[in-house]
Structure 1
Amino acid sequence: GALAADENAFLEEALSQLHQWQLWQLWQQELELQNDVVGELRAAGLDVDEEVLLGSGYRVDALVKVGDRGVAIEVDGPSHFIQRRPTGSTTLKHRQVATLECIEVVSVPYWEWNELKNSVTKQQYLREKLGCDT
C-alpha cells in the first residue's frame, strides 16, 4: 500500500522531470539551429535582424533585407513538424505573417539545413531560398 503509493509519486515526478529535460533539449537544439542560420545569413553579407517583433504581434526568427523587400526567415526545427509536414500552428503563423505584414516568409526546415555540410553550401542554400545573388 504505502510503498506502492510512494513509488507512483516518484514515477510521476521522474516522468515530469524527464519531460522537462526533453523540452529543454529540443529548445536548445532549435536555438543552435537558429543561431547557425542567422550566422550564415550574416556571413553571406546580408542585412539581418534577429528575433524581430512585427506590428502584427508575431515574432520572426530573422528579418532579412533583400533589395527593397523584407523577407521573414523562420528556422523551423522538429517541433514545427509532424512527419516533415508543418504543424497547423506553424502553417497559420507563416500565412498570417505573410498576409498581415505583406512580406514573404521563407521557412528553413531543420532536415534540409542539417544536410548542408559547410558554410559555402549553407550560404548558397539561403541565397536560393531568398532569391538573391548577393
Structure 2
Amino acid sequence: RYQWTPALSTSYYYGGLDGIYKQHLVNLVYQLPLGETQSLKSDIRFARSRDDGGSNVDNDAFGALFTYRLGAQSFTASYQYLSGDTGFAYIAGSDNALAHLVQINDFGNQDERSWQLRYDFDFAALGIPGLT
C-alpha cells in the first residue's frame, strides 16, 4: 500500500492457496475534500483470480464506489462486475476485495453485475463512537 498524497492511495496485494488458486488485487482510492465537513471519495478495485493447478478458478472482478460525505452522513453509489468461468474465489470468513460484500450476500457469482445505493450514519456525531 502506498500513500501518494493525503488524498490519494494505491495498493497491490497478491495471495493464493498453493496448488488451488492465485489472486492479484489492485485498489485506487482518492478522497477530495469539498469543505470542512464534506468530501467525495472514489474507490476503484480490480481482482484477478486464476487456477494454480488444482482448481478451475478463473475470475476477474471490477468494482467502483463513489461516496459523498456530509458531516456524519454518507451516500454511496457503486457498481460491481464479475467475469470469467467461475465466481470470485475467497476463503469463507475472510475479508475480500469485492465492493459489494455485505452481511447477507457476497455478490461474487460468475458473470454477476450488481449496483448498490447506500446510506450510512456515523453516530459518533451524537456521542456514540463506534456505531455506524
TM interval, short-chain normalised: under 0.3
Higher relative contact order (CA 8 A, sep 6+): 1
TM score, norm. by length of structure 1? 0.23
Rg (Cα) greater in structure? 1
TM-score (norm: length of structure 2): 0.24
Structure with the largest fraction of helix: 1
